[in-house]
Amino acid sequence: MNVLEHMPAPENEPAPGTCVRLERPEAGLVLLRLDPPHRKLAVFDRPLMRDFALALDELERARDVRAVVVTGKSPTSFVAGADIDAISGLADVELATALARFGQGLFERVARLPWPKVAAVGGPVPGGAFELSLACDAIVLAELKSTRIGLPETRLGILPGWGGCQRLPRRVGVPTALAAILTGKLYTPREALKLGLVDRLCAPENLLRIASDIALGRSANPRRERGAKSWLVDRNPLALAVIGNAARKNLHKQTKGRYPAPSRALELVLAAPGTPPERGLANEASALGELAVGPVCKSLVALFQGSEAAKKLAKLPDGSDVRTVARAGVIGGGVMGGAIAGLFAERVGSVRLCDLSRDALDAAQAAHLARVEKARKKRILEPHEARAAADRLETSTVIAGLARADLVLEAVAEKLEVKRAVFAQAAAQARPDTILATNTSSLSVTAIAQGLPHPERVVGMHFFNPVHAMPLVEIVRGRDTAPEVVAATAKLALALGKTPVVVADVAGFLVNRVLGPYLDEAVRLFQLGIAPERIERAALDFGLPMGPLELLDEVGIDIAAHAATSLHAAYGERMRSSPLAGELAAAGIKGKKSGAGFFTYTTDPKTGRARKGALNPAVAARAGTNAPTLADDMLRDRLALALVAEAARCLEEGVVASEAELDLATVFGMGFPPFEGGALRYVRSRGPAQVVERLATLGDLPDVRARDGARERFEACELLRGLSRSTSKRPS
């Protein structure tokens, strides 16, 4: 099978022989340079793999060769791994396996070249790029901020299939290889050197010189040999059994068996030291072939593609660039505002944090300094970088010093008049083109902008709590918000390490609107008398990261009650929520921050974090006592499909532009199971007709029929019904 014929062809596919060059900078030395003209950063797509094979043909016929250096376009640009679009399109196990074997064959040819081979790499070196490097005798890595190296394939639902599961354990040993492959971590240069993933670090400008000296024998190969450890650990059946059992237990705890790739990789790595290389490669290719066509891989790849597509939001529709936000002001030093200001200071530039409370400012400053110091200790930041990040956060008890800000973000109380007043003060100081961003979670961006000069610069920038951990930022486009303001705000979100999704200015925006019916359904089930542990377990079994009642405690029951009121006012009876959350909040039962919500919480003396305890007796007294019989699958669907139905309505109404963006937001913003790929991908996977039928069944349950608006909540919108009709007409 000629696998290249089955790979997608890129636009403007270059002519054969133009993607890989053989250069001879000095006698006896050949540079094998990967530099495809059709991409800024090379990937192993059809043209590159075709030309790599042609270059190897030529190299294998060459004379007067003493050494080979494999490198990229520049010291900061090697290869970004395999072609994700090609992986996404794989539907046949045989073809996927053949593609793995083809890649293995190319790298095996590199390994069998009769001369010393050194990989000289830098910048991103993930996946297949690292596997190619592992086929060389030594790896020299450019030490710079953008350099990351590793095998992240398990994050895409596959495994290293071009020799990584065989060569890495032989190079660094089974324990280190397992840690690298199962986590899919991309390592900094110093981490990679410490673990033995690479042999030498150097400045980018010295990369080719040092790699050439090692290849030609002018400098010693610094590669560390495993020595006795390879026999005491890697080839010791007892040691491998202990390592394997511990790894399996830990893996099951993390994945709950929902992600098959890490388990397959685990067994391949454990077996690698005692398996003949050719058999190990065949097993690796077979595993990759099966995984690459599976639903988990397709879901994770779709999310990756969605997150990559989100980067285009930082440009205007015609592809032109927008201004960069380099200096900011943040008004409101509470949990959200303080964290946003700290993140800006760490990642972007100078920021002034304003709040009336000196205590709030001091707490925000202390938290910022603690995060910076932690990053310094982990060597994520160099000492001078840590000092600079610490110094970039200024504080003030008055709204002042905003004249030079490119963006001012408010994170004050969720009251329209308060936010308008704050922005009026900010606008009086800031430049006319300064972006005014609101972190509101429930108020209209258009309403906040009314009466302000230049309302076209007002935009929503909705972060999620905890700010440093949650990957999504909703960019809310008000009625008057200018396209360049939306793009510049998305560009800032990316600079902060977040994934932006542009949403319409509607009540609840996207994530909170979708969460509303899900959280309320959990409260209703609790009031029916369903045991809280069953409710939580149903969500966890579905694949959500925490149960809905614990999530209410995390968010704050008072905040959830306020959001529910806004949703009901905007969407009518469908969004009418249980009054229980408001009653609990009025009684001072607000969740973790008050010490108790649906559950009790204690402070862990070691970490200082809240630790979940038993059901709160004060809340237990409000539970129903005559619960209906409800099977586990029905309980799970009452939660999950309440969420999915509202997500489909959001797409139908244009709250978000595409299905891919909706799926990305539901996974990154609220923890929808990544292995399902998002709310709409879940509908397509389960079957739209089955989802529509199940929603009708849920809407007909006695307790739902008796509840105002609940049947409407479980009605399938026209988008779902259309999907159901279109799929049911397909030939079987």
Q: Which residues are catalytic?
A: 462
Could you give the CA distance from residue 62 to residue 492 in angstroms, rounded to a whole number?
A: 50
d(C-alpha 177, C-alpha 159), whole Å? 12
Compute the half-sphere exposure of residue 167: CA atoms within 13 Å on the CB side of its CA.
Answer: 24
E strands present in 87-214: 117-121, 124-126, 138-142, 148-150, 186-187, 200-202
The backbone region for 17, taken as left when phi is positive above 0, alpha when psi lies in -120 to 50, beta otherwise, is left
Between the alpha carbon of residue 83 and those of residues 45, 63, 304, 445, 563, the distances in Å are 5, 33, 12, 40, 43
Task: Give the distance, in angstroms, between the CA of residue 621 and the centroid of all CA atoms in the same chain.
Answer: 40
Cβ-based neighbours of 695, under 8 Å, separated by 6 or more: 641, 645, 714, 715, 716, 720
Contacts of 629-636 with CB under 8 Å at 24 or more apart are: 630/525, 630/530, 632/534, 632/538, 632/541, 634/698, 635/525, 635/530, 635/534, 635/535, 635/538, 636/538, 636/539, 636/541, 636/542
**In contact, 138 and 322? CB cutoff 8 Å:** no
Report how far Cα 460 is from the mean position of its chain's Cα atoms.
Answer: 22
Half-sphere exposure of 284 (CA within 13 A, CB side): 32
Comparing CA positions, the residue from 184, 132, 129, 175 lying closest to residue 154 is: 184
Long-range contacts of the stretch 344-350 (C-beta < 8 A, 24+): 344/496, 345/389, 345/390, 345/392, 345/393, 346/371, 346/372, 346/375, 346/389, 347/495, 347/496, 347/497, 348/492, 348/495, 348/496, 349/392, 350/326, 350/392, 350/394
DSSP state of 694: H
- DSSP for 574-596, written as a single string: GG---THHHHHHHTT--BGGGTB
